[in-house]
Amino acid sequence: MNVPRPAISDVSDAELTAWLAAHGEPAYRRKQIRRHATHTCAAGWSELTDLPNGLRDALASSFRWSSVEPVIEQASADGETRKVLLQLHDGHRIETVLMPHHGARNSVCLSTQAGCPMACAFCATGEMGLIRNLMPGEIVDQVRHWQRELAARGERVSHVVYMGMGEPFNNYDATIASARELVAANGFGISPRRLTISTCGVVPKIDALAGEGLPINLAVSLHAADDRTRGAIMPINRKWGIDEVLAASARYVARTKRRVTFEYVLLAGVNDSADAARELANRIARAGRPGDYHVNLIPVNAGPGGFKRPPIETMERFAEILSERGIAATVRISKGQDIAAGCGQLKVDERAGATLAKV
């Protein structure tokens, strides 16, 4: 495989400074370049008009402006949610979603891997298997893709959720490096409190994140109240069972003083009974303080396994049982399902990617 020029998002400040010095350029150019990368609508080196022409050409021959190239974009009929298919330098493809909320906030949903190795029974990404891990720059460039467009109308990406394709904690170092870039004052400058990383329950990495000194939000995909049910729909449960995941979540709360969100996909006849709700509440209460958690109940989106959504009354009853026990719970329907941009619906046809791959 031919090695591409590094993408600017994967070039460290030290490397860029050294490159500028070697090209006889003043050090302040680095800040100009970074500002364009994170704050303006510049879509390529030629658009950095405050840099001399010769420098732009030299930069273009050394670095790619972005590591992701848009292939197809889709907009939901809800008028807000949008999804874009992005191509990586080696032809693999990922998806990222923009979820604006009535002009008040702009949330971006990021992918951390092309495909995913976790094989959860209800998730479309899991059907792909793992293609490869993304580089930190390939994660950050998904934010840049939307940021460029938002900048054109004076808006910014305000929130970031690591809930796209892949398991962030299976690509831990790149995920953390990207999060540091997103919160860096000389990077995107997004408040860490507006970043959320979601994991299917990779326990050692929950503890690792607690020790990073990055006060970001943690979401844990629980999806069942007992190990037999969870094991049947989430293979990861054979490695770390529910009580281990809950204990790690309690440690995260204790160390970071941040609430943890539990995601719970409601699957009719599988994990939606009143008994399951009581069992979940009991286990959460045994592991920590009920008030430290929020449970997001997600009616399953169309995907593999033929799972069905429970009736609305069943979902509300489930939420009530948790609330009665002091655990905040909300039923949340994901947006953008008409363009398969809802939770667990991101999937790429790798065969199509292979045909269109650039050499």
Using CB under 6 A as the binding rule, whether residue 249 contacts ligand SAH is answered as no
Using CB atoms, what's the residue nearest to ligand SAH?
A: 344
Total residues binding ligand SAH (CB under 6 A) = 18
343 in catalytic set:
yes
Q: Which of 69, 97, 127 is nearest to 338 (CA)?
A: 97
Beta strands at 195-199 and 328-331: parallel, antiparallel or unpaired: unpaired
Distance of closest approach, residue 344 Cβ to ligand SAH, in angstroms: 2
Rounded CA-CA distance 336/23 in Å is 47
The residues in 191-220 that bind ligand SAH, with binding defined as CB under 6 A, are 198-200
Chain position carrying tokens 């990406």: 157
Least distance between ligand SAH and beta carbon 271 (Å): 12
Q: Site for ligand SAH (CB under 6 A): which residue of 209, 265, 270, 281?
A: 265
Q: What is the DSSP string of 232-250?
A: HH-GGGGTS-HHHHHHHHH
The piece of 87-95, 138-146, 204-212, 298-306 that touches ligand SAH (CB under 6 A) is 298-306
Shortest Å distance, C-beta 310 to ligand SAH: 13
Q: H/E element holding 31?
A: helix 29-39
In the complex with ligand SAH, which residue's Cβ is closer, 151 or 224? 224
**Could you say whether residue 301 binds ligand SAH (CB under 6 A)?**
yes
Q: Are 196 and 162 in contact (CB under 8 A)?
A: yes
DSSP 278: H
Choose one: 20-28, 61-69, 120-128, 349-357; the region binding ligand SAH (CB under 6 A): 120-128
Restricting to residues 123-142, name those near ligand SAH by CB under 6 A: 123
Element (H, E) at 105: strand 105-109
Under the criterion CB under 6 A, does residue 303 sit at the interface with ligand SAH? Answer: yes
Q: Which x/- pattern, by CB under 6 A, does the window 318-357 give for ligand SAH? A: -------------------------xx-------------
Rounded to whole angstroms, the Cα distance separating 342 from 284 reads 27
Spell out a b/e string for 311-347, using b for 16 or more CB atoms within 10 Å of the CB, else e. Answer: eeebbeebbebbbebebbbebeebbbbebbbbbbbbb
Nearer to ligand SAH, 114 or 298 (CB): 298
Catalytic hit among 120, 324, 343, 350: 343
CA distance 144 to 171: 20
Closest CA to 202 of 177, 159, 171, 230: 171
The question of whether 95 is a catalytic residue gets the answer yes
Catalytic residue among 25, 95, 149, 279: 95
Binding site for ligand SAH (CB under 6 A): 118, 120, 122-123, 163, 167, 198-200, 221, 263, 265, 298, 300-301, 303, 343-344
- Just list the catalytic residues: 95, 343
